[in-house]
Structure 1
C-alpha cells in the first residue's frame, strides 16, 4: 500500500477523526506516521482507536490542543508534515446550555493550535515548508439557515451563525483564513454537512434514534420535523478530506456535501421503515408510532445545504454511499456494538431528556 505523510490529527479519538484514521490505514495512502492528540472529553474515546496500528506508525497522546508546549514538541519530535484539525465541541444543544466550553476549545484552543503550527512551519527548511499543510475541518452551520427554495450555499458566502456552537466555529475559521492571508500559512478549510455513521456519540440525532428504536423508547423530533439537513456518510466525508489534504490548494475552501437532503421527520421515518425490515413488528404495528414531537430548540435553523461542485470538479471526489445504504450500515454498526454504547452510559452519558438531538 502506498505510504505518505507524517500527520498530527487533533480530536482523532472522536467521531469523524477516528473514522478518518481507520480509513487512511484501511484504504491508504497509509501514513508514514500518524499522531493522534485528544483530550478524551466525553465524546473522545480510546475505544474508537481499537484496530489501528500501535508504535511507530500510530501514536496516541492524551492532551489539549491549547497546550502549546505539548503541541510544539509533538510537531518537532515527529517531523510532522501536516495537521488535520478535528478537535472541537460540536453539539448545538450543549452550546445553548453553556457557550463557555465552545469558546475555550473551538476559539481559544484552535487559535493556540494555529499559533503552534505556524511557529513550527516558519522554522521548516524550504522543501519541508512547501510540503506542510494545515487542514481545518469546519461545518456548514457557520452560514446559518437557508430557505426552502434557496440554492445550496457556495464557497465564500457570508457567515450568519445562529448558535453559540456555529459562532465558535466561525471564529476559528476566520483565524485560520487570517493566518493564510497575512502570513502565507498553507491552510485549507472544509465545510461539511451533517455526518452520520459508526462511532458517533449517541446524543446526536441518528444514533439517538437508532438506539431508541432498538430499546423501544420514544423518537423525539424538534418542532414539526420540517427542518431540513443534507446528510453525508462519515466515510464519504473522510475520503473528501483525504483528497483535500493531498491535492487541495493551500488557502482554498472546499465544501463537502452529498446532496441527500431530507427533513428531520422524513429521516426518522426512513429509520423506522428500515428497522421494520430488519426487525419486523407484529402485523398492524409500526415503529413510526414512537415518533414524538417536542418543543423546538431556540434559534433552530430551518435548512443547511452546501454547493460541493468545486471539490467534485477539481479533485474528482463524489460520495459513494446513498442515504439508505449509509443508514443501513449505521444501524448495523450500532446493533453490533452495544457494548460501546453501554460503556458511554456507564461513564454517565445516560441523559434521558427528549431534547438530545442535533438537527
Structure 2
C-alpha cells in the first residue's frame, strides 16, 4: 500500500522515473521504457549504452570491462581494468601464454598502473611475436582509442580492434562494435544504416562469446527496434549481463520486471535486481530502491533504510534523491525531523531544476539564521560533490 508523507497533496514518494545519463554517441539508439513519470512531469527512464571506449563526444558513464582480479594498488583513479584472458599455448614455441594472474602479464600490469608507454611497447612485442594474441591487440586498440602514451588515433584503434576480433578476442569484438555504434549515431549520415547493422552483428558475435556488456548493449538495440518478438530475447540478454554484475543491466532488468515488459510483472524480483544494481553503485537504482522501500513496493516497508539510500544518492549529486531526502527530513519519516538539513537539500535540488512548492511552503518559516546555515551546508555539500568527495 502506498504510504504518504503528511501535509501535502503531492507528498507521496512516487517512482522516480530516474534518467541515467546516455552515452552521447549512442543517443539515437536509446530506449525509453514505459514507466510512471515522476510527479507526472518527466519522461520514461532512458537506459544507456555503455562501454564507449573513449569515443569523441561521449558523456555518459563508462563501465569497466568485467573484473577477473581486483584493480592493483596504485592504479590511477578511474583506470579501466582490462582482464587478461588465458591464451591458448598449443600451437608452437612462438605463443606467449597469458597467466590467470594478470600481474604476471607485464603489458596489462603496466596499463593498470598507468605506465602506458611500457604497456604499449609490451603489447606491441606480444602482437608481433604472436599473430593470435587478440588480448594484446585489444590492448593496443584501447591505448590508441584513448591516446594513452601515444597520439590518439581512432584509425589505428579500429585496425587493432579488427585484428583482435579476427583473432577471436571478445573484448576486441565488443570494442569494434561500439565504434560502429558511434559511427551510426547520426542516422542521417551516409551509410548509417549499414553501420548500425554491422554494430548489431558484432554485438551478436561478442554476446555469443559471453561478453556481458555486449549482451547488455545488444538487448538495448533489440528493444530500440521495437519489434515485439525481440523483447523476450532482450530480457534474456539482460539477465545474462545482470548475472555478470553489469549494474546498468541489473537496473534495466529491474525496470522490465517492474513494468512487465517482455516478462511477467514481478515486483519482488524487480526489487531484488534493483538492490543488486544499487549495491553496485548505480545511482538510478539507489533512488528507485529507496522509493520502493518507502512505499513497500516489492519489499517490506523500511523507511529508515529508504532514507539512508536517499542520503547516499543525494550526496552523489542526484537531484531526485536530494528532493526526496528533504521531504523525509521535513516529515521526520525514516530520519529525525530537521528543517535546516531539509532546506539545504532542497536548495541543492532546486539548483538543478528540481523545484518543489510543497517544500517551499513547509520551509517558509525558517529564521534568517536557519536559512544562512542551510545555505552554507548546501554550498559545502555541492563543493564536496564537485571535487569528487561524495561517497
TM range, smaller chain? under 0.3
More helix by share: 2
- Normalising by structure 1, report the TM-score: 0.28
Q: Greater RCO between the two (CA within 8 Å, min separation 6)?
A: 1
Structure (1/2) with the larger strand percentage: 1
Structure (1 or 2) with the larger CA radius of gyration: 2
